[in-house]
């Protein structure tokens, strides 16, 4: 498992091709959830290439299922606040852990700001829902931490029940076929064009840099 703190991620050359941000509130084909909404509407924005791939993925889902987008673009300050908050929580809960272990465990849930996929507009947190918008059971809530879920938030977790594993496979197959890459400690997190995507796909550089 390659974590976002791996030096190979930061070593990927950064290039931005200028692909614009799209506001998902103007894309009726994709259902957008409001739980991560911010006053500026950053949560609803994704790069055009990512939006195109989400639409392609959704078209391959079985009848009765749709993607439910939770969060897209995340500004630097918001990313830093989430990172430091979870890091400090782990420090309090595990005073015996070394600083390096605290850092690595933190990155299983939230990316270091210098390589953060969400800050490029090329990453999305999402789940599946039914045609009427009801979320299906994916085994844990979106944004369940490894600490709280006993690692059930890991995409390949075997501790969840069979229906949840099936839904994760369905969503994963659709998104992977559309060219997205999953962060394996978070079943809901998928990206395209960022450093993690480039490393995992063998691309020579990113498509998207931080915004």
Q: Is 118 annotated as a binding residue?
A: yes
d(CA 107, CA 3): 7
Find the catalytic residue in 29, 89, 105, 186: 186
Rg (CA), the chain: 16
Phi, psi values for residue 70, rounded to 5°: -100, -50
Q: Integer distance in angstroms from the first to the last C-alpha of the chain?
A: 27
How far, CA to CA in Å, does 177 sit from each of 54, 65, 143, 150?
10, 17, 24, 29
In DSSP terms, 67 is beta-bridged to: 128
Expressed in percent and rounded to 5, the helix, strand and coil fractions of the chain are 40, 15, 50
C-beta separation of 63 from 70 below 8 A:
no
Sequence length of the chain is 211
Q: Is 189 annotated as a binding residue?
A: yes
Sheet hosting strand 31-32, strand order edge to edge: 31-32, 65-71, 123-130, 189-191, 181-182
Q: Is 205 annotated as a binding residue?
A: no
Active site (annotated) includes residue 186: yes
Count Cβ atoms below 10 Å from residue 79 Cβ, excluding itself: 20
Binding positions: 118, 125, 189
Q: Residues with catalytic annotation? A: 186
Residues annotated within the binding site for Zn(2+) are 118, 125, 189
């Amino acid at each position: 498992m390659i974590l976002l703190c791996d030096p190979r991620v930061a070593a990927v050359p950064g290039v931005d091709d200028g692909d614009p941000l799209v506001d998902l509130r103007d894309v009726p084909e994709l259902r957008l959830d409001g739980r991560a909404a911010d006053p500026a509407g950053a949560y609803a924005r994704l790069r055009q290439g990512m939006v195109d791939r989400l639409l392609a993925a959704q078209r391959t889902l079985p009848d009765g299922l749709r993607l439910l987008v939770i969060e897209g673009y995340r500004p630097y300050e918001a990313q830093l606040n989430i990172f430091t908050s979870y890091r400090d929580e782990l420090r309090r809960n595990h005073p015996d852990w070394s600083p390096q272990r605290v850092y690595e465990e933190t990155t299983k849930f939230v990316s270091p700001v210098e390589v953060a996929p969400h800050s490029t507009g090329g990453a999305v947190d999402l789940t599946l829902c039914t045609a009427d918008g009801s979320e299906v059971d994916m085994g844990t809530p979106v944004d369940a931490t490894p600490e709280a879920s006993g690692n059930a938030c890991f995409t390949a977790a075997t501790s969840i029940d069979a229906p949840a594993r099936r839904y994760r496979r369905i969503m994963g197959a659709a998104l992977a076929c559309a060219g997205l890459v999953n962060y394996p400690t978070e079943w809901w997190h998928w990206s395209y064009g960022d450093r993690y995507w480039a490393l995992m796909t063998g691309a020579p550089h990113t498509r998207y840099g931080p915004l």
